[in-house]
């Protein structure tokens, strides 16, 4: 007696650990906090795997107006649609953001059509340059088996975003994919904010929680007026 129930207790303990770790992996799978039900414009930092053009990026992210893509990148309105973007060059892409249940996601866009030999991991980490993790595509599209997607299937790619004000100020939230070796301070400096703000809106206690390849919520102040007028 005792041993069987102890074993069961242990099994249950392992199961809970497993569930907790699954939950933490999906929650560090980068949802951005977005507290009130709201919608707004936001930005994501997209670094294409292959060289491409602004026009292809516009179509991949279903950006309605080419001008909003130019505005987000401080490019003159005369810039041609064929303007080339190098492999791994980061482009700011405007997305419509909607907040629901304390999480912000791109509102029903982008829609990605599955191609031959695609897998969800590849779509999240390569096609959308790691802006989100593949379990978020699974959840958003209620995919029953993550290893089974069909060519031609349309997937909603729920990119992370937020509409929250920061310290009582309107900002544009920018999803930045963290490079290996970055620090919170360096990222804050690069985007004109401060470490404490970055840590707090991303729910982190300190630098040690910053991980390479995570999407970090970066509030951009100056960009607000400029981006807003193009939507």
Ligand X SMILES: *[C@@H]1O[C@H](CO)[C@@H](O)[C@H](O)[C@H]1NC(C)=O
Q: Which is nearer to ligand X, 84 or 225 (CB)?
A: 84
C-beta separation of 226 from 71 below 8 A:
yes
| Residue 3 binds ligand X (CB under 6 A) | no
| Helices and strands per DSSP (H, E), number in the chain | 8, 10
Q: Which is nearer to ligand X, 128 or 174 (CB)?
A: 128
Nearest distance, CB of residue 135 and ligand X, angstroms: 14
Backbone angles phi, psi at 85, to 5 degrees: -120, 130
Site string for ligand X, 86-105 (x = CB under 6 A): ---------------x----
Site string for ligand X, 32-71 (x = CB under 6 A): -----------------xx---------------------
| Residue 188 binds ligand X (CB under 6 A) | no
Nearest distance, CB of residue 102 and ligand X, angstroms: 6
| Residue 206 binds ligand X (CB under 6 A) | yes
Among 126, 195, 197, 200, binds ligand X (CB under 6 A): 126
What single DSSP character describes residue 222? T
In angstroms, the CA 131 to CA 128 distance is 6
Using CB under 6 A, count the residues that bind ligand X: 9
Among 74, 78, 82, 208, binds ligand X (CB under 6 A): 208
C-beta separation of 230 from 71 below 8 A:
yes
Q: 218 has which bridge partners?
A: 174
Nearest distance, CB of residue 137 and ligand X, angstroms: 15
Q: Which is nearer to ligand X, 31 or 41 (CB)?
A: 31
Q: CA quadruple 89, 53, 135, 149: dihedral positive or negative?
A: negative
What single DSSP character describes residue 37? S
Q: 195 has which bridge partners?
A: none
What is the total residue count of the chain? Answer: 231
C-beta separation of 112 from 138 below 8 A:
no
C-beta separation of 161 from 44 below 8 A:
yes
Stretch that binds ligand X, among 5-13, 70-78, 142-150, 202-210 (CB under 6 A): 202-210
Q: Which is nearer to ligand X, 210 or 228 (CB)?
A: 210
Q: Residue 193, Cβ neighbours under 10 Å: how many?
A: 19
* Contacts with ligand X, residue ranges (CB under 6 A): 49-50, 101, 126-127, 205-206, 208-209
């Amino acid at each position: 007696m005792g041993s069987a129930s102890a074993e069961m207790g242990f099994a249950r303990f392992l199961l809970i650990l497993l569930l907790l770790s699954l939950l933490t992996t999906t929650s560090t799978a980068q949802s951005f906090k977005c507290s009130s039900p709201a919608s707004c414009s936001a930005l994501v930092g997209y670094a294409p795997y292959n060289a491409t053009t602004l026009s292809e990026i516009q179509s991949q992210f279903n950006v309605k107006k080419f001008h909003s893509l130019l505005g987000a990148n401080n490019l003159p309105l005369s810039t041609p649609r064929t303007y080339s973007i190098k492999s791994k060059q980061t482009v700011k892409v405007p997305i419509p953001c909607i907040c629901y249940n304390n999480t912000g996601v791109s509102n029903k866009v982008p829609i990605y059509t599955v191609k031959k030999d695609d897998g969800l991991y590849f779509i999240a980490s390569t096609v959308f340059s790691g802006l989100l993790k593949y379990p978020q595509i699974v959840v958003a599209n209620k995919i029953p088996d993550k290893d089974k997607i069909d060519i031609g299937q349309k997937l909603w790619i729920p990119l992370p975003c937020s509409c929250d004000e920061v310290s009582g100020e309107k900002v544009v939230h920018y999803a930045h994919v963290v490079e290996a070796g970055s620090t919170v301070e360096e990222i804050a400096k690069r985007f004109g904010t401060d470490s404490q703000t970055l840590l707090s809106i991303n729910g982190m206690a300190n630098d040690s929680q910053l991980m390479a390849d995570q999407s970090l919520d970066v509030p951009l102040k100056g960009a607000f007026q400029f981006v807003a007028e193009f939507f």
